[in-house]
Amino acid sequence: MFGFKRKNFEKIYDEELLNSINYLKQDWDQARQTEQAVADVDQQLLAHTELAKQKFEFMYRQARKRNIKNDRIQPNVYDR
């Protein structure tokens, strides 16, 4: 309608989704490392780690649902 193709939008948003996934994975890894390094783990720290995990899992599932293929995120990036 305005000269933009749907594929261009999909490519742009797929790239943004991948950037978000990478950022959330780093945030989750940092939260896990902090949790392991701290002697007195409180509920707030546990909640932050769990929230970071849930954010990453949600975005990762969205990428899988959209069938995004790339070389930046490996299929085994999610370890339980």
Residue boundaries of the structural domains of the chain: 7-65
Whole-structure pTM value: 0.76
Give the separation between CA 24 and CA 22, rounded to whole angstroms: 6
Give the separation between CA 17 and CA 38, rounded to whole angstroms: 31
The lowest-confidence range among 16-20, 37-41, 61-65, 76-80 is 76-80
Task: Name the 3-class secondary structure at 28.
Answer: helix
Query: Which pLDDT does position 40 carry in this prediction?
Result: 87
Per residue in 11-32, pLDDT tens?
A: 888 889 999 999 999 999 999 9
Query: Which pLDDT does position 12 carry in this prediction?
Result: 86
- Residue 71 φ/ψ, nearest 5 degrees: -110, 5
